[in-house]
Structure 1
Amino acid sequence: MDLIEELAALRNPMPEPGTVTPEDCYADACEQVEEQRKRDALGLEAASDGLQTNPVLLTLEDLKAHKAAVDAQIRRLLAYGREFHGSRPIALEELARHSGFSFSGVRTAYGESEIRHVAAQIGREPNRPRRGTGKTEQ
């Protein structure tokens, strides 16, 4: 394998035997991973050639961007769970356990911008008005 193929393999690991359900789909899952590896390798090669940048560094930058996007999604889901969900907010302890945040971290993980984003995406306002958050938009 060359560098680009190795990076594509690291980004798209093959499933372990016994981890695909139903088991008879294991070969299909492996085939899908191979196809994704090929797509990633082509994209990475083109980007690395075009930008004349080390493909390892490009891969790290890409993963960093994905991580930031996932972190933003988590903050929005925490806002949804506390501000928009059902007739009562989901308990801080529950959200903390499932998000990897601490109890107090859930309270500070999102602010008015995440609440506005959730409201815009789902087309309604929070279930309860927010008071005394101490958060200001900058």
Structure 2
Amino acid sequence: MNNQQFSIIDRIRSFKYAFNGLKLFFINDHNGRVHLFAALAAIALSFYLKISRIEWIAVLSVISMVFVAEIINSSIEKLADVVSPDYHPKIKVVKDLAAAAVLVAAILAAAVGAIVFIPKLFL
């Protein structure tokens, strides 16, 4: 057990690592930039269509879920590349599973987007 004293300053400093991770994600990850563009488009459309609070919650929730899934996927891929730089069938399974998590999140985001935006755009 760690007996180190709790420190607000240390907790605040730890945010720097998280923000650096976001910066690295958007700078270095092509899919991160694609998701960022899609998120900004969805947010702009949400403002334009004046969606309800509940719709905002749904849209922002799925946007966040896609980002979280993609960040975890990218982390797993980078770690797997360090652990096994050469092709390994078990590493491939791990990478495929992480990519599947992003796919599930993106499908849900598209479904929520369709439910929220299609009636306002076309009906």
Structure exhibiting the larger radius of gyration computed from Cα positions = 1
TM-score, normalization: structure 2? 0.34
**Larger % of helix: which?**
2
